[in-house]
Structure 1
């Protein structure tokens, strides 16, 4: 029989060397980093200190039981320790990572949590200032604010299906240097390899912040404020969810302008939309909504509920809670 061999390699030094080649932070920043007891824990201090940051680490001991909170920076309830620490230490920014370190959440100096599509907006602005006309790829649940902002800054917005393989494939096909998902995945192909990297996403945002000489919150002074939900998960059996979403998409697309590449994104009016799709990884439907104000947001959620309530297999508890 052929004999294989096992070799243990420490690739962090090579990774750090690459990051220091492509990212420069021009002024010292104080940051709080919450690893959520995930895989990033042992690396947050050496990585961000090498970039020139003062680092206050939280929950850096890897522990698959996740004793402090779920390692999901998309949900604000998981960011409460980070928010408190940012305020306590008067930090410039708070960073949160998921369990395997490929998704990023951000808290500004005031403790405000940002959805990842608004992080992509800042990355896109910086890119488009250097590369006018660049293509930016994103999933079907991002804010209309992001889409409009990419256009306003001379870029080409490109929507595709949710999932890292779909984002990466579209970026490769189109030669797009940047991509992202509302879940916190951020993808980089400029001087990089075209996949998602939360450490690089965080470093790029710190680089942008350091150049502005302003607080992070000020970067959004000219970004329109809308009312929106986070991603909402509605349990639905795996063996039923695809047929249900296909039927929902068929019914709603006859009533409203819609995008049906990934479930359905319904445009209730020029500024209000709702999306429903099948989760790639769990027995759930994933939904998100956005409107100019809270009143209109509740209206469009109720319009979607009229359709969803036709299917008793869907648990709509969380969606009912949004109205």
Structure 2
């Protein structure tokens, strides 16, 4: 029995060749069909050069198990989420490696109602069956295969999240947006949204860069979390005097925003902006957030009578907690945004539409909308590092700080709230929720990536950017030792 290392905590991701190939994709199709007892499954794939063949092998495995397959063609992940629920199907699978290197690919899987399949609810069983290949005999009646499109219905769903009539009433001149698909799969969807906005006489103008899907990724892997991948969007915003820039990752389940000055806005502050917008519409609602950066989101929930709940990072965990508490919105600082009214799924299209509406209605620029929050809770942005024996390094950092730590949280990795070394704060002098006890506080989260051999560091402070920067440097030195 060959073990399959491509199975991760909440999806499948592996290097092409030994870790993931057409044979393995076929076995996964057989295993998926049996474990979830599927009748009809929708599939799609991103624009990576390997996605089409992997998708066909997956489809063959499904059909050999008697499953009917509906193929959406080249899609983003959220199109699979939408189709699974909209068509009331047994499951959906997207072939994608998102932002991983060009020689990787993978799968994201959902079951009925677009519920994610993770290690807690079926992924282990799929892995074990795919490894053992102890499949039932091939179905006497092979499943059917049909290509379909639900693009028109999906576009209507996306635009239902904003009030187009209100937007027209508040805008005397077009909103100019730079949109950077990164040569991933967002381009065709943006074309369809643009066409529908024009049909509705909406005052929005798109300036498109790196727009056409291209699995060779001539401008680099579409991952705007990497600083080197942001310049093209920033430059285009300035060149075209745009109101905002938007960039997506490869399967466009994440979007990244740039203000009118071309400045990249960390996803952390967009989470806060969207949380506040939802809480003003639905007082007392629950907001779910990840543990990497938290203070701004918690503060906004407290100010708007909302309930903040912390989850492990990762889409399967966020969605599960949102369903448990009926949360209206969930956000990760990595730019994943989840919506109750989108079957608790993440979308890279809904957030920017909501932000455009918010800015238009409030007559604000994006920089104005986030400036006070950035000043109140300066953050490092996520820093990734390749480190041997990451568990040992994280344990070492815990030992280094734990004698003065105000709070230690191991929800996901290691999070610690600490006083500044030169603030004179007494770690036992009061809760961090007491305004009188918050001066000089800083916080970090250090966790291992669940999809790549990396550790990820995030640091924030309460209103002290110099403290945040100094402690970030301090931690980077400790990580390097």
Normalising by structure 2, what TM-score? 0.60
2:457 counterpart residue number:
287
How far apart are residue 21 of structure 1 and its match?
2.7
2:447 counterpart residue number:
277
How far apart are residue 306 of structure 1 and its match?
6.6
3-state SS of paired residue (2:153): helix
2:148 counterpart residue number:
9
How far apart are residue 86 of structure 1 and its match?
1.3
Normalising by structure 1, what TM-score? 0.87
Ranges of 4+ aligned residues in structure 1 off by more than 6 Å: none
Alpha-carbon distance between aligned partners in 2 of 1:301 and 1:213, rounded to the nearest angstrom: 35
After superposition, residues 137-216 of structure 1 pair within 5 angstroms as 137-189=288-340, 191-216=341-366
Asked if 2 retains the 8 angstrom alpha-carbon contact of 1:49 and 1:55, the reply is no
After superposition, residues 3-42 of structure 1 pair within 5 angstroms as 3-25=142-164, 26-27=167-168, 28-42=174-188
Alpha-carbon distance between aligned partners in 1 of 2:211 and 2:224, rounded to the nearest angstrom: 15
Alpha-carbon distance between aligned partners in 2 of 1:45 and 1:289, rounded to the nearest angstrom: 38
Alpha-carbon distance between aligned partners in 2 of 1:268 and 1:299, rounded to the nearest angstrom: 13
Alpha-carbon distance between aligned partners in 1 of 2:371 and 2:180, rounded to the nearest angstrom: 26
Alpha-carbon distance between aligned partners in 2 of 1:251 and 1:196, rounded to the nearest angstrom: 37
Q: Please give the root-mean-square deviation of Cα atoms over the aligned residues, in Å.
A: 2.1
Tell me which of 258, 278, 299 is aligned to 2:408: 258
CA distance 1:262–1:13, change in 2 (3 Å): same
CA distance 1:227–1:128, change in 2 (3 Å): closer
Question: Cα deviation per residue 1:235-286 (whole Å; 9 max; x = unaligned)?
Answer: 134xx33454356446644541221111111111343111101111111111
Structure 2 residues without counterparts, runs of 5 or longer: 1-139, 169-173, 420-437
Alpha-carbon distance between aligned partners in 2 of 1:206 and 1:133, rounded to the nearest angstrom: 24
CA distance 1:123–1:262, change in 2 (3 Å): same
How far apart are residue 9 of structure 1 and its match?
1.0
Alpha-carbon distance between aligned partners in 2 of 1:56 and 1:148, rounded to the nearest angstrom: 35
CA distance 1:224–1:34, change in 2 (3 Å): closer
Which deviates more from structure 2 when the two are superposed, residues 4-13 or residues 286-295? 286-295
Asked if 1 retains the 8 angstrom alpha-carbon contact of 2:194 and 2:206, the reply is yes
1:317 counterpart residue number:
none
Asked if 2 retains the 8 angstrom alpha-carbon contact of 1:73 and 1:96, the reply is yes
After superposition, residues 93-172 of structure 1 pair within 5 angstroms as 93-172=244-323
Alpha-carbon distance between aligned partners in 1 of 2:366 and 2:280, rounded to the nearest angstrom: 18
Tell me which of 225, 233, 238 is aligned to 1:87: 238
